[in-house]
Chain A
Amino acid sequence: MAIRSFFVPFLLLVLWFYSSLSPVLSLYEDQVGLMDWHQQYIGKVKQAVFSTQKTGRRRVIVSTEENVIASLDLRHGEIFWRHLLGSNDVIDGIDIGLGKYVITLSSGGSILRSWNLPDGQMVWESFLQGPKHSKSLLLLPKHEIDCINVVQTNLKIEKDNVIVVFSNDRLHAVSCIDGEVLWKKDFETESFETQQVIQPPGSDLIYVVGFAASSQFEMYQINARNGELLKHESAIFSSGFLRELSLVSSETVVALDSTGSILLTISFQNGEISFQQTPISNIVEDSSGPAVIIPSSVPGIFAIKINSVTIFIRVIGKGKLEVVEKLNQETAVSNALPISESQQAFALVQHAGSEIHLVAKLAHDWDANLLKESIKMDQQRGIPHKVFINNYIRTDRSHGFRLLIVMEDHSLLLLQQGAIVWSREDGLASIIDVTASELPVERDGVSVAKVEHNLFEWLKGHMLKLKGTLMLASPEDVAAIQSMRLKSSEKSKMARDHNGFRKLLIVLTRAGKLFALHTGDGHIVWSHLLHKSEACQSPVGLNLYQWQVPHHHALDENPSVLVISRCGPSSDAPGVLSFVDTYTGKELNSLSLDHAVVQVIPLPHTDSTEQRLHLLIDSDKHAHLYPKTSEALGIFKREFSNIYWYSVEDHNSIIKGHALKCKCTGEVADEFCFDARDLWSVVFPSESEKITATVTRKLNEMVHTQAKVMADQDVMYKYISRNLLFVATVAPKGSGEIGSVTPEESWLVAYLIDIVTGRILYRVTHHGAQGPVHAVFSENWVVYHFFNLRAHRYEMSVIEIYDQSRADNKDVWKLVLGKHNLTSRISLFSRPEVITKSQSYFFTHSVKAIAVTSTAKGITSKQLLIGTIGDQVLALDKRFLDPRRSVNPTQAEKEEGIIPLTDSLPIIPQSYVTHALRVEGLRGIITVPAKLESTTLVFAHGVDLFFTQLAPSRTYDSLTEDFSYALLLITIVALVAAIFVTWRLSERKELQDKWR
């Protein structure tokens, strides 16, 4: 695509001409999608509701753990529409009302919304407030969610469809048409925890059942028309209940006692509560350990889980229980689906090795299967977590079933007729960590013919291109050219390219799955679900590190990444290391550690196979060296006294510096384990400061030059240290929402701390400022973003730090005679002579993430990449955040590129990197340098993914995509021809002259 051309001066000239013409910050319309791609996801599905309306295309409405409500196409799995609710607006339940409204309950049951099903427009929104005395419930958010139910009723009250919502300890009836609250009912009983809201079909009664205290079962019978309390019954069961209930029929529920060993069948027919106790050991022979009820709503049947065995139990008559099936594999059960007047179907999905078994049954007839299929399933998808059932009428008028299943890796699949109709990799909506990896070097044997499928196509393509350049192309041809450019096989080739644009992005998702995405078009090259071992059943992925990046003497080895995961939710659970080959996605090795992993420090040393040395700090402040080889230990011993690190204790606002002391003095002799000691500490006063942000420089960042030439031919030396830490603290009062405090009680203090000695190099207070603070650290500068309460605006501040100890190297003669100290080693134990410059500017947007472009050699000027609140990425030149900007820059300063001072930073619409797209739920921006110095690769992730290439100083080292080679060739040919013609002419002229 682009040719390196600095060796041809002529081309350089042309290049300069072209690059000065084309603005690289913005794109032309036809360039969209050439170098960028955008993928939309929704996240792990929590709940799915099928649209049963016959009109229009079949859709499924889903709510996800990323707080997305989306309408998906059942045939292809595409998104019709979706809405991302805020992270503090968690969806509690969804349903479809009147066949055309999607009803969602969110924010702990306090916001009820209705959306138009075809296009996703919001129809109404109502806020449901609870009584004051239910505040105790709000304090226990976990129980809160348990007791929220959306019950859809078919009641006709004034010809209205009514939604019954129980939230915040109050029962609401809301009109489906306009969201008006028709009636509400409070419950007086103290500590009443509602478990189920039941409406028997075809009746005007609503039952609200739950527990009061721990051993009292409560039942309220309520008139659904007006919310009148008809009956209130309670019964005490002395040994208490576990919190879950399973609804067996409209007037019977099943619960477990507090030990989990006795099943209680509670029926409240006609308002009379009666208990039936059945010890589990009576019906299940070899039961051991406490049982858990699996929430389901299949009539007459409920499921319990003992250890890993799922047991289905049928309720026959009055309190008689009968085991119908025991399943040893991982099983997911769907809700009941009414298929006719009296029949209800449900589905079971079992995981068995490389297959999953699907069974659909009728609720009242266990032995007959409506559907029994086995589907081959990719092992990397793990076990099924959830299943949703939907039916359709087959061509032969019988019932067909399709199942929507959610797998362990958060992917969503639609199964029908024994095949996977479509699948969505929705695990990619929750990326935790990203790293980049090179592709393999191109092997011989890949010829043009293989790439371009046949000669005719190839010729046609070139003809089209020629037409395009000669402006002869019709609109259809233009479209064909455009699609050809977009699909160019060059882009998604599985080999390294000359410019380093093609790479693999290795991403780790919350589900513990690794994906390798090709930067060309974003397709998934491989995926790998983290290995489960005996020792660790549920590893939680934490971080990704580059373990082995072969480039010099280990070229035949494949690069690999290190995945750090934790075995369990608590922070001191033992860690697990997995090493994954980035070319193939195979797990090379997996280590279950006997210590926790609190901090991982990649060291700047590699062994002979280019494996990077990593230091893992555990919760007892021991340092463990990996890889555990004697060679690594040898390298490590040499640098033993030069290794320092820091730890931030967020909760009590202390930062500590550490160094290595000696080998571990534990009971087991481990030569790879070292004790640490505290070297320094910074204790922030707890009453006035609280740490909100800590940022360091990227480890692999390249800095081209330390010197910065000023306008007056003066030189300043950047203070470039990898050991600088930026810390921002805010007043504890001001750590809440913006506007919750007055400017007088809120401040922000920014620190630059040397992490080897703990020296505070710079400390500055912004009065009247409030978080959240987002910061980025690069070279010798930090940019941070916060809210200014006095000016009612967001502000961005920059701090640049310069080294004064090298300032006397300005004398040229000293440099010539070698009397400078530029090559002398720097010790951080010397007293630093630094000066800082800082400046603040107003900025319009609030910010979700800030990153900075990074290039291969650090020559190209930098741009800040700002993830705005509108989920877009804005590129802002670092020159706007120069602390030396003044109101009237001198001529020399202008030439240097200093922009006249303004109070706010400009937002140029063309500088949105994401152009017209939105990266919903933007969480992080990662930049990876390409091999070509001018270009950097940008990957933004949130619920959506977006990737593009950026050239912050324009592509000065390559020809642009739209460079006309034809014109160049024609010019050269014409010039050569002209030379020949004129030469011939002059020859002839001379000859004639000579004969004259």
Chain B
Amino acid sequence: MKSVKIIVPFLLTFSLLSFSSCGFQSDELLVDDEEFGLEGSPRHRSPETVLTRSPPVTRKRHSDLDSDSKIQFSLDHAFGDSDFSPAGTFSARLKTWSHGGQSLTKLRFSRNSFTDEDKEKFKNLLKSDDFYRIRLPSNVLSPPGRDFVISSVKARCLPREGLDEHFVIHMEGVNVLAVNYGSPGSCPYPRNLKFPAKWSFNSHTVLKNSEQAPRAPVFTEEILGGENAEGEVVQPPERSFWAKYWMYLIPLGLIVMNAVTQAMNMPEEQATGQVPAQGQPSAGAVQRGPSSAARRR
């Protein structure tokens, strides 16, 4: 079973999970290290250069790939209850499957840097412990689709060194079902006011498709019976020696211990007196004498 994907910090992971409604599902995972890692994680750059540098890189990559199926959709953000404004662009390759299904691969993200005005607004959010909200179109081919999918997080969850953010985009073909937005790590409850040292975003993006449910197990009678019978035959030898023979071992141990103590006592008595050893029976008889007499009184 696949589990939640773990994102190595400072390394942008692009995942591809193809969707198909007809049962086929590829779980190909594309991890592009260095070059892609730089993409969308502007921590090595000054915020001013992001806008100027991002587009050429994108174009270059896309010219290598299938350029006509390249699509872009924008990320909007809002501070508290303000209106949404563009905050970045997702670009991806749209793959069309032979059976007609479409899915996104090679998602990459370029984040616009905060303007001074945005910084001011974000600081206000931090002070009032308010929500930072983002939205994506619900259909990437014909944005915004039916509606925007919205996600929000308390602004105080984001600042670390810079501003760390984590997107999980749930896809269904070309539809965006939901986007889960938050900090990549924990956000402990009494949220403390902390301003980021750098006003640059450190973004992690994960694309998720639906898992297939495990099939209900199907047995036939013989297999079930056979396996059960086998299992019972196999199991007894697995028990350890101790588990099997403890009932014999414990009495044996007791006997041994008894014997040892007796053996310890024997030499002692022998050592203490050779002489009393001879007189012992008579002494016993003498001792027993009075007591029986007393009884018989």
B-contacting residues of A (Cβ < 8 Å)?
641, 652, 654, 659, 661, 677-686, 688-689, 744, 747, 749-750, 757-760, 763-767, 788, 791, 795, 797, 805, 824-827, 829-831, 833-835, 838-842, 887-888, 891, 900-903
Contacts and interface: CB of A to CB of B under 8 A. Distances in A.
B35 interface: no
Interface stretch (B61-69, B207-215, B254-262): B207-215
A681 B213 contact: no
Interface string B181-219: 011111111110000000000000000101111111111
A767 B19 CA distance: 12
A758 B136 CA distance: 14
Q: Which of B150, B168, B170, B184 has the most CB of A within 10 A?
A: B150
B184 A688 contact: no
Contacts of B149: 680-683
B148 A681 contact: yes
Interface residues of B, number: 58
Contacts of A830: 157, 182-183, 185-188
Given A760-B177, A827-B189, A831-B183, A842 B216 contact: yes
B147 A654 contact: yes
A757 B149 CA distance: 13
A688 B89 CA distance: 26
B187 A827 contact: yes
Given A688-B173, A766-B213, A681 B147 contact: yes
A791 B213 CA distance: 14
Interface string B58-90: 000000000000000000000001000000000
Given A765-B210, A887-B227, A903 B187 contact: no
B213 A758 contact: no
Contacts of B154: 829
A688 B101 CA distance: 12
A765 B211 contact: yes
A231 B141 CA distance: 65
A689 B172 contact: yes
B214 A679 contact: no
Nearest to A745: B21
**Max chain B CB contacts within 10 Å: which of A654, A750, A827?**
A827
B177 A683 contact: yes
B276 interface: no
A661 B157 CA distance: 19
Given A685-B172, A764-B210, A891 B182 contact: no
A700 B173 CA distance: 39
Contacts of A887: 217, 227
Contacts of A766: 213
Residue of B4, B157, B231 most packed against chain A (CB within 10 A): B4
B188 A824 contact: yes
Interface in B87-140: 129, 131, 133, 138-139
28 contacts: A652-B146, A654-B147, A661-B81, A677-B81, A679-B131, A680-B150, A681-B178, A683-B177, A684-B172, A757-B182, A758-B150, A758-B178, A760-B177, A765-B210, A765-B211, A765-B212, A767-B23, A788-B216, A830-B188, A831-B166, A838-B213, A838-B214, A839-B216, A842-B216, A888-B227, A888-B231, A901-B217, A902-B219
A840 to B, nearest CB: 4
Contact of B175 (A685, A829, A902): A685
Contacts of B54: none
B49 interface: no
Interface of B: 3-4, 21-23, 81, 129, 131, 133, 138-139, 145-154, 157, 166, 168, 170, 172-173, 175-178, 180, 182-191, 208, 210-219, 224, 227-228, 231, 235
A94 B235 CA distance: 68
Contacts of B214: 838-840
A682 B131 contact: no
A758 B219 CA distance: 39
B233 to A, nearest CB: 12
B146 A831 contact: no
Contacts of A831: 166, 182-186
B177 A682 contact: yes
Contacts of B150: 678-681, 758
A681 B183 CA distance: 18
Given A831-B182, A835-B3, A797 B213 contact: yes
Given A824-B188, A829-B187, A757 B153 contact: yes
Contacts of A797: 213
Contacts of B191: 827
A680 B187 contact: no
A315 B249 CA distance: 110
Given A677-B81, A795-B216, A830-B183, A683 B145 contact: yes
Give the residue among A677, A759, A829, A842 with the most B Cβ atoms within 10 A.
A829
Which 10 pairs between the two chains have the least Cβ-Cβ distance? Answer: A685-B175, A830-B186, A840-B216, A825-B189, A683-B138, A682-B178, A829-B187, A765-B210, A759-B180, A827-B189
Contacts of A749: 210
Contacts of B213: 750, 764-767, 797, 838, 840
A105 to B, nearest CB: 43
A903 B147 contact: no
Nearest to A885: B217
A763 B173 contact: no
A134 B175 CA distance: 42
Given A682-B177, A750-B213, A767-B213, 14 more contacts: A641-B129, A679-B150, A679-B152, A681-B148, A683-B138, A683-B146, A686-B146, A757-B153, A759-B168, A766-B213, A825-B189, A830-B187, A831-B183, A838-B213
B210 A758 contact: no
Nearest to A748: B213
A684 B177 contact: yes
